[in-house]
Amino acid sequence: MYLDESISVFGEWFFIHFIENPGMAFGFEFGGEWGKLFLSLFRIVAIVFIAIYLRGLIKQRAHSGFIIAVAMVLAGAAGNIIDSAFYGLIFSESPRFSPETAVLFPDGGGYAGFLHGKVVDMLYFPIIDGHWPDWVPGLKGQRFQFFRPVFNIADSAITVGMAIILINQKKFFKAAEKSEKEASNDKLETQ
Query: What dihedral angle (degrees, nearest 10) is formed by the CA atoms of 129, 130, 132, 133?
Result: -140
Torsion-angle region of 22 (φ positive above 0: left; ψ -120 to 50: alpha; else: beta)? alpha
Question: Buried b vs exposed e over 89-127: b needs ≥16 C-beta within 10 Å?
Answer: bebbebeeeeeeebeeeeeeebbbeebbbbbbbbbbbbe
CB atoms within 10 A of CB 40: 19
Separation of alpha carbons 149 and 170, rounded Å: 30
121 in catalytic set? yes
155 in catalytic set? yes
Closest CA to 177 of 189, 185, 166, 167: 185
The 8-class DSSP code of residue 91 comes to B
Residue type present at position 173: F
Of 121, 129, 134, 186, which residue is the catalytic one? 121
Of 4, 129, 134, 155, which residue is the catalytic one? 155
List the catalytic residues: 121, 155
